[in-house]
Amino acid sequence: MTEKIVVMGVSGSGKSTLARELAVALAGVFIEGDEHHSAESRDKMCRGFALCDSDREPWLDRLAGQMDEIQGVAVLSCSALKRHYRERMRARVVGLRFVFLDILLSAAIARVAGRTDHEFPATLVADQFDTLESPVGEAGVLHLSASQDSACNLREVMQWLSATAGTQWKSEELESRRG
């Protein structure tokens, strides 16, 4: 199995928790996107300034490159806020799929404000909502509510992967025959 999955959403949606649990369930590699920001981007966010496209695009390229290098299952936690960010990653990673954790602004702000171990301030959450281009309706995207507990969301992701496995594997088989 060579699943490549991005668990995406705004800060506070629970993407890191779900991505970590999914990687364990699939015996894959978990990649925490926030750990791969440049020092400049980390500093900018710590000071409460939102990132722009020119900050995010090299970061997305690094993450897609890491996922592409992994031979088996890779699960990435990454905001992937704009459609062209997701398309940029899809261009690098064959068969890349996304799990979108949808959350209300007030709930996301409350979750981020309540964190004691997170370096980025809750003031950035509203900007992420302004930047977010919903992936609902894009191919290869599962839409989940962040208000559900992570165990429920994990079950839904596993069911989605099982239901689409035949299609995914057929696509990979065709791709390998071309190469």
* pLDDT score of 1: 63
Q: Name the token pair of 80.
A: 């992937």
* pLDDT score of 63: 97
Residue environment code for 7-26, b if the CB has 16+ CB neighbours within 10 A, otherwise e: bbbbbbbbbbbbbbbbbeeb
CATH superfamily of 4-169: P-loop containing nucleotide triphosphate hydrolases (3.40.50.300)
**Has residue 167 got a pLDDT over 60?**
no
- DSSP-derived letter for residue 49 is P
Place of tokens 């496995």: 165
Q: What is the strand order of the sheet 4-8 is part of?
A: 29-32, 74-77, 4-8, 97-102, 141-145
**Has residue 70 got a pLDDT over 60?**
yes
Residue 97, classed as helix, strand or coil, is strand
* pLDDT score of 66: 96
**Has residue 103 got a pLDDT over 70?**
yes
**Has residue 176 got a pLDDT over 80?**
no
CB 73 within 8 A of CB 3: yes
Q: How far lies 73's CA from each of 1, 67, 85, 92, 163, in Å?
A: 7, 9, 21, 15, 17
Question: In terms of pLDDT, which residue wins out, 78 or 114?
Answer: 78
* pLDDT score of 118: 60
Residues 6+ apart with CB under 8 A from 141: 97, 98, 99, 100, 135
Read off the pTM.
0.87
Bin 174: left if φ > 0, else alpha if -120 < ψ < 50, else beta: alpha
Domain ranges of the chain: 4-169
Per-residue model confidence as pLDDT tens digits over 113-165 = 887 766 666 788 999 999 999 999 999 999 999 999 999 999 999 999 999 87
**Has residue 169 got a pLDDT over 50?**
no
Per-residue model confidence as pLDDT tens digits over 12-51 = 999 999 999 999 999 999 999 989 988 999 888 888 888 8
